[in-house]
Amino acid sequence: MKNIVILISGSGSNMAAIARTAQKERWHDKLGVRVAAVISNKAEAKGLALAKEFGIATDVLSHRDFESREAFDAALMARIEAHAPQLVVLAGFMRILTPGFVGHYAGRLINIHPSLLPAFTGLHTHQRAIDMGCRLAGTTVHQVTAELDHGDILAQAAVPVLPFDTADTLAARVLTQEHLIYPQAVRSFFEAKASSA
């Protein structure tokens, strides 16, 4: 069985989209793939309850319990490795990961970012797109590298920026596309692995 571990910090809506698609499309039977665990750095993350509803194992590791990013990442890696993952998915995990962590999972660590990368790396992407007068905004699934919001692009989806958009209305429109392309990108990751094996 090929295991996925998903890291979250909040609502877990992208995690739930992946788990829902995995069930609906029977990844377990067709691809030998399952979401093995959801790990959060926040005990109050609403996504943990969602994961339990899907029957997925959950774990919490607070970054506040560690004196350094390196110490937290080392402990996080140990929790992840307990599930022997083929893929680690960042789904609203609000931590900048250390180069050592990223290097360990090189080629099997992916993230979703709410802009059409390489535009608008970092935070406040929707407001920045509006302020720049962009006609299009969107979302990108990409491989994670040591450089923030860089790495090979695996999938993108664009949405129009409407004349009266606020950051919140644009974010909501982008999020609907995130819920579509993130599960597709995860499935494609394993399909590509299978075809190259």
The DSSP-derived string for 12-50 is -HHHHHHHHHHHHTTHHHHTSEEEEEEEES-TT-THHHH
CA–CA dist 166, 102 (Å, integer): 34
| Cα distances (angstroms) measured from residue 193 to each of 108, 145, 183 | 11, 20, 16
For the question of residue 113 being annotated catalytic, the response is yes
Which residues, listed in sequence order, are joined to residue 7 by a DSSP beta bridge?
Answer: 39, 90
CA–CA dist 37, 84 (Å, integer): 10
Q: Is the dihedral of CA 144, 149, 153, 158 positive or negative?
A: positive
Element (H, E) at 119: none
CA–CA dist 129, 170 (Å, integer): 9
Report the DSSP pairing between strands 85-90 and 57-60: unpaired
Please tell me which residue in 28, 63, 83, 113 is annotated as part of the active site: 113
Among all residues, which ones are annotated catalytic?
A: 113
